[in-house]
Structure 1
Amino acid sequence: MVTAGHCVKDGAGEWAANWTFVPGYRAGGGRPYGTYTARRMFVAAPWSRSGDDSYDVGMVALNTSSGRHVADVVGTQEIAFNPGRGGHVYGFGYPADPPYDGEQLVYCAGRLRDDPYGQTRDQGLACGMTAGSSGGPWLSRFDPATGKGLITSVSSFKYSDDRRTMYGPYLGDSAKALFTTAERA
């Protein structure tokens, strides 16, 4: 599964412990499709070395739940590497800081724009989600009827002077190599 690098490793710091994925999480702790713990976690080298936000991408190989793989239970989304920049996406997450409580799936939708500060290769999405939504997928070509789309980024960070824009890393060659490594794990 793909997520933000900071969801699995604190930049050059420690790896996450007791990492768990709950697909289709329901308010109050509902786990309709099981609980999947991390078997192995991977991050891009520039994230691991220095917390470079342009590479805030993580991949997680999951254990089974009740003997079943997550893909067999809930299906998968396709992922795109080196996609065209810009475009329209839907970003999903479970924001936990006020006014949210981490119990409901929330989404933002809109056109992407390049980082106006030039600090990263990331793109920004107008989005009021708060902390807790990190690592949630950004889907282009999203079809609300089927729930299917094409993963083109994940929620990563916000600038302190712009709380209305969420930034996500560009999934380039580094993310593709990371995905291939995780896929083989």
Structure 2
Amino acid sequence: MTLSTPLLAAVPLVASLLGPALSGAAPEQYATATRVPDTPARPDVAEHDPAQDAGVLSYWTPERMAKALPLGLPVVFAKGGLLSSLAPPVTGDDPAPPREATRAGVSHRSARPLATTTGSRWAVGGAVTKTTGRVFLTLNGVDFVCSASTVRSRNRDLVVTAGHCVKDGTGAWARNWTFVPGYRKDGSQPYGRWTARRMFVAGPWARAADDNHDIAMVALSPSRGRHVADVVGVQDIAFGSPRGGRTISFGYPADPPYDGRHLVYCSGALRDDPYGGTQDQGLGCDMTAGASGGPWLSRFDTATGKGTITSLSSFKYSDDQRTMYGPLLGESAKKLYELAGRA
């Protein structure tokens, strides 16, 4: 399906969340799966070189960053078990989320993470407060924000996010793409910011905006000669995890009742897509636009703030705004990761 513009409207986990381990310009290039004898096939990936974005750091003035709009979670209409289209973008005139969501998202803070929550501020600290960050980007001439996480990789420059935070489905690639790890509520950037050196999305996302493949990897340019992994650390990533179990997700939701200034988390059990339209799994989560691309972690240790990324925030159904869906990280995502990690 194709995302609307300019405003665009897990996997499984094994360990429990209780206790210390809570369980433009450049043309896109497609790597086909055509095999040549004795030559390994390149993965089905769309790549983009954002070299035209020279001066991106000066582009993101404090004023532009403050005015950037939350890039909406694609909202999918469910009818007869089929995915038909995307809902209109969320606007300031839309009704506020349920009171319970407002309480959880804005007021609840706890020194002890909840085993089940649909949206609470993360006040425990740990590595996740540095590895998770906000993404600032320009898509079809409009400035937006998303979420992303650093991930362990060979090049020490890799972040993972949602495909729709990097490329508008079959449409344009994002410009001015910048990652700000550990973003703070006063707008400060304690660990600096990194720009995109190379962008990668799965071929099915670039060709058809397939929600099963709403995944992107971005190789970052060093900042002041330093790799992002060496400055803020990384989260591990796993592919082909079993379905079901529990997860904890993180992001910077920016539509009401959230304001994008706080790291928020959801935690609970995973369930299959009830409409059968995707292979994604759902998590009870009230996070709103701006949280797109935030990591879902299994085997999460509250003492260290580290876990294993097994999915990310992708979309919601039109008739269920209380459930977030995330794609399975399977063989396609693994090939995407391996290619991006060598960039």
TM-score range, shorter chain: over 0.9
Correspondence for 1:77: 235
Letter in 1 for 2:322: R
Distance 2:302 2:228 in 1: 21
Alignment of 1:139-178 (within 5 A): 139-178=297-336
Matched position secondary structure for 1:19: strand
Give the alignment of 1:121-136 within 5 angstroms: 121-136=279-294
Q: Secondary structure at the match of 1:112?
A: strand
Radius of gyration: which is bigger?
Answer: 2
CA distance in 1: counterparts of 2:224 and 2:283, whole angstroms: 37
Alpha-carbon distance between aligned partners in 2 of 1:67 and 1:114, rounded to the nearest angstrom: 44
Cα distance in structure 2, aligned partners of 1:36 and 1:87: 34
- Cα distance between partner residues in 2 of 1:162 and 1:3: 23
Q: Alpha-carbon deviation of 1:29?
A: 1.5
For 1:113 and 1:74, the matched residues in 2 are separated by: 32
Aligned to 2:250: 92
The percentage of aligned residue pairs carrying the same residue is 73
Matched, 1:36 2:174: no
1:144 CA displacement: 1.4
Equivalences, count? 185
Distance 1:146 1:123 in 2: 26
Partner in structure 1 of residue 226 of structure 2: 68
Structure 2: 5+ residue stretches without partners: 1-158
Matched to 1:57, the amino acid is I
Tell me the residue number matched to 1:58: 216
Q: For 1:30 and 1:64, locate their aligned partners in 2 and report how far apart those are by CA, in whole Å.
A: 20
Q: How big is each residue's C-alpha offset from its partner over 1:56-96, in whole Å with a ceiling of 9 and x where there is no partner?
A: 00000011112111100111111000111111111100001
User: Which letter does structure 2 place at the counterpart of 1:104?
Assistant: H
Give me the whole-angstrom Cα distance separating, in 2, the residues matched to 1:139 and 1:127.
14
Write out per-residue CA displacement over residues 23-54 of structure 1, whole angstroms, 9 at most, x where no aligned residue. Answer: 10001211111101110110000000010000
Q: Quote the offset at 1:110 in angstroms.
A: 0.5
Give me the whole-angstrom Cα distance separating, in 1, the residues matched to 2:279 and 2:205: 13
Runs of 4+ in 1 over 4 A off after TM superposition: none
What amino acid sits opposite 1:155 in the alignment? S
| Cα distance in structure 2, aligned partners of 1:144 and 1:24 | 17
2:265 aligned partner:
107
Encode CA deviations 1:105-138: one digit per residue, 9 max, x unaligned: 1000001111110111100000000011000000
Distance 1:11 1:63 in 2: 24
CA RMSD of aligned residues (A): 0.6
- Structure 1 residues without counterparts, runs of 5 or longer: none
In 2, Cα distance between equivalents of 1:112 and 1:82: 15
Is 2:160 the counterpart of 1:10?
A: no
Query: How does the TM-score come out when normalised to structure 2?
Result: 0.54
